[in-house]
Structure 1
């Protein structure tokens, strides 16, 4: 039984490293699925935790993004798997004593589930001709598109995503986007497309302009992805700079 477990872990790890060969940047994500009845309590404790981090200056970094289905994502860049063994809050927890654990007890009352996984920024599929960046000044509104697929169709979905990028580039589209894919720790395979705008109105205007630019032929290109998708999910959200964190330079 132990041999089987080790073999499966090795296969999963190898699959992950095969996937990241397409990209250069990968991230650890902590996701909290907050219950509607606890959203205000969660906001309160999240801001308290952020303030405590500013005070104690733990040596870690994350970008916070929220989605309209009350998902809170804390996204931290990773250099390698050794980062997962680090304990950036150890000194902070020691200095705060019981107050530190009490904060996380309050967090636990606010979500039905939470967990960690890794996503990869796929630069080959990302369409940002002016340079790739997770954040753009004044554009904190987000449209997220999740494209789920069976692992056996991974190559076909990827080829379809390439075709979409080529279409956007050929038409000179101004609707730029980043593409992330699931890595180690994710139970389902999907690509997540993130598009930035100033607000919902700006997003709608961009979408309309882009549809007119791409024309009706766009459906044939999108079909190259959709033919192999098992599920589609579209949500909106925003970058929460007030809950994002970076340590002060010493």
Structure 2
């Protein structure tokens, strides 16, 4: 875990050096899963993100490969997903107890829909 977190910090530093325009927020769970969350406006913005990541990698040169070598053996798998906020299914009080920027912890309840039971 420690080596993974040290390497994530180095990975993020590469993006900061290149002034990558998207925020990359890291969340971790009590069962050692890590999520790098990047807010985007829509699906088409993903093309821009991937293009810019490739640019960061290219500009970072050998540093990019060195960081990925440090990641080797520190995690089981890595994959990306798109999560869509659903305002019509959400409850947001008129005066929330915390503003989004004040919440360092998130309770994230997962619901897996059984297809055909909609």
Report if TM-score (shorter chain) is over 0.5. Answer: yes
Residue 144 (structure 1) aligned with residue 113 (structure 2): no
RMSD across aligned C-alpha pairs, in angstroms? 2.3
How far 1:131 moved relative to its partner?
Answer: 6.9
Residue 119 (structure 1) aligned with residue 78 (structure 2): no
- Give CA-to-partner distance per residue, 1:20-70, whole Å, 9 cap, x none: xxxxxxxxxxxxxxxxxxx11101101111222222212222222111111
| Aligned residue number for residue 2 of structure 2 | 40
How far 1:149 moved relative to its partner?
Answer: 2.5
Specify which of 87, 103, 107 is matched with residue 71 of structure 2.
Answer: 107
How far 1:150 moved relative to its partner?
Answer: 0.4
Which structure shows the bigger proportion of residues in strand conformation? 1
| Aligned residue number for residue 82 of structure 1 | 44
Residue segments in structure 1 that go unaligned for 5+ positions in a row: 1-38, 155-250
Aligned residues: 115
How far 1:115 moved relative to its partner?
Answer: 0.4
Secondary structure at 2:81's aligned position in 1?
Answer: strand
Residue 70 (structure 1) aligned with residue 32 (structure 2): yes
Change (3 A) 1:81 1:143: closer
Q: Which has the larger radius of gyration?
A: 1
Change (3 A) 1:56 1:47: same
Which segments of structure 1 move beyond 3 Å, counting only runs of 4 or more? 131-134
* TM-score, length-scaled by structure 2: 0.80
- Give CA-to-partner distance per residue, 1:75-134, whole Å, 9 cap, x none: 222333322323112332233211112212322321111101111111112111237898
- Give CA-to-partner distance per residue, 1:120-153, whole Å, 9 cap, x none: 111112111237898241x312222212220222
Secondary structure at 2:112's aligned position in 1?
Answer: strand
Task: State the structure with bigger RCO (CA 8 A, min sep 6), 1 or 2.
Answer: 1
Matches for 1:1-250 after TM superposition, within 5 Å:
39-86=1-48, 87-130=51-94, 135-137=100-102, 139-154=103-118
